[in-house]
Amino acid sequence: MYAVIKTGGKQYRVSAGEKIKVEQIPADVGAEITLDQILAVGEGESVRIGTPLVSGASVKATVLAQGRHEKVKIFKMRRRKHYQKHQGHRQNFTELRIDAIAA
């Protein structure tokens, strides 16, 4: 069984036992959270698609870690104008383990 969830403005296709990194969710490590924005649920050939959400569906997940991604380096330059700008960014993430999908 799989589900398409929406969190942090992005969509993820998840199944039970999978580990994913999503945008930061304010929760403690080891806490069990419920994701209720389910866009689709499928098993084999049968697929339920929500309009826009599947009613009554939820995904239970456990928070494994809170962290930061690798640094992305941003470099801007204008040729012949003596302009250079260096910048870096590290995005926060929450690592989740999907425990169960309830349709």
The overall average pLDDT reported for the chain is 96
Question: What are 4-41's pLDDT values in tens digits?
Answer: 999 999 999 999 999 999 999 999 999 999 999 999 99
Mean pLDDT confidence for 44-72: 95
Give percent of the chain above pLDDT 90. 98
| DSSP states of 30-62 | T-EEEE--EEEEEETTEEEE-SSS-TT-EEEEE
Question: Where do the structural domains in the chain lie, given as residue ranges?
Answer: 2-102
pTM for the full model? 0.85
